Amino acid sequence: MGAYNFWMLIIIICFIFQDSSLVEARPLPSPLQQSDRSKIIASLGVVCKCCDDEHCAISWDGSCSNLRCLPWKVH
C-alpha cells in the first residue's frame, strides 16, 4: 500500500505543476507612460479622470493630484 500512496503523490504533484503554468503572470513593463497605464486600467473596466476645480479630463500629462476612478458602468 505504501508504493501506491507514493505513486499517487507523484501523479498529484505532476498534475499541480502542469496546471500552474496555465495561470502564470508576467510583470508589466516598467516604466509605463500615463497613456499605457490608462489603457491597462480601462481594460479592467475602470475609467479614470484627472479633475481640478473646474473640469475633469480623461487624458492628462504628468501626475494628477485629484484622480477619480470609477467602474465604467457608474461612469
pLDDT tens digits for range 14-60: 776 665 555 566 676 666 666 666 677 778 888 888 898 889 998 88
Residue 31 corresponds to which cell in the numbers above? 516604466
Residue 51 corresponds to which cell in the numbers above? 479633475
List, in sequence order, the alpha helices (H) in the chain. 2-20, 34-43
pTM: 0.43
Residue 73: pLDDT over 60: yes
